[in-house]
Amino acid sequence: MAFFVEGAKNVTELLLSDFTITHLLLTDKFLSEQQTLLARFEGEKIVTTPKALKSMGTFSSNEQALAVARIKPNAPLEIRPGELILALDDIRDPGNLGTIIRIADWYGIKKILLSPETADVYNPKVLHASMGSFSRMSFEYVDLKSKLSDVAVPVYGAFLEGVSIHDFEGGTDGVLLMGNESHGIRDDLKALVSQKLTIPAFGAAESLNVAIATAVICDNFRRLNK
């Protein structure tokens, strides 16, 4: 199976990754600006026009490139002590998922576990929102209850109630579980959470967007590891 990415940023990141790219549609602009990078590309190159790229992709404008690559196998990810891993329970909005991937990349997280209900990582909206960060991440779609039921690291969950992330002084590794945008973490996963975490509110908003909440919690985890 294959997926495609479009735009100079995502295509450049893809070319720098270990994904297998089979086809590359590019304009003269991309060809002239990325000669060194393209010299290592062994797939099929097709020089075309920005108008043609626009007609084939989802961007309102794309003046540089579109790449087709092979989807990686859904291989099991090992949960090891010493690293922080994200687990996403039913994150359905592609924009949120793409932003979370970008946030994970910013904070040095390399592995993301995804429930089967979570949006498709290879959805064009997810890839666009990730701004190329998807190319540096490992993913596993898996039943989270089975995956997390017997792990040797703490499982932290984001809740509206729990220990304030500002007061949290726990370890800097483990699994950070983030729940659905509307309903939070499912009941059958709550029992697997060893520490509930919350972001204290100072105003009247009912909740935070899940991507923003992920960023706040990840930032505090990394603060503990300075």
Which CATH number does the domain housing residue 216 bear? Answer: 3.40.1280.10
Asked if residue 79 is part of any domain, the answer here is: no
Task: Determine the Cα–Cα distance for residues 224 and 86; give it in Å rounded to an integer.
Answer: 17
Same domain? For 59 and 157 the reply is: no
Asked if residue 76 is part of any domain, the answer here is: no
At 91-123, the pLDDT tens digits run 999 999 999 999 999 999 999 999 999 999 999
Same domain? For 108 and 52 the reply is: no
Tally of structural domains, the chain: 2
Same domain? For 38 and 132 the reply is: no
What's the confidence (pLDDT) of residue 56? 83
Asked if residue 155 is part of any domain, the answer here is: yes
Asked if residue 77 is part of any domain, the answer here is: no
Containing structural domain, residue 22:
2-70
Q: Is the pTM of this model over 0.85?
A: yes
Domain finish residue from 41, 70, 99? 70
Domain finish residue from 26, 43, 70? 70
In terms of residues, how long is the chain?
A: 226
Asked if residue 61 is part of any domain, the answer here is: yes
Residue in 63, 67, 60 with CA at minimum distance from that of residue 43: 67
Q: Which CATH number do you get for residue 49?
A: 3.30.1330.30
Domain finish residue from 39, 70, 101? 70
Same domain? For 124 and 199 the reply is: yes
Residue 112, Cβ density class (10 Å: 0-12 exposed, 13-18 middle, ≥19 buried): buried
Task: Determine the Cα–Cα distance for residues 86 and 109; give it in Å rounded to an integer.
Answer: 8
pLDDT over threshold 90, residue 171: no
Find the range with the poorest average confidence among 88-92, 136-140, 158-162, 220-224. Answer: 220-224
What's the confidence (pLDDT) of residue 226? 62
Same domain? For 111 and 209 the reply is: yes
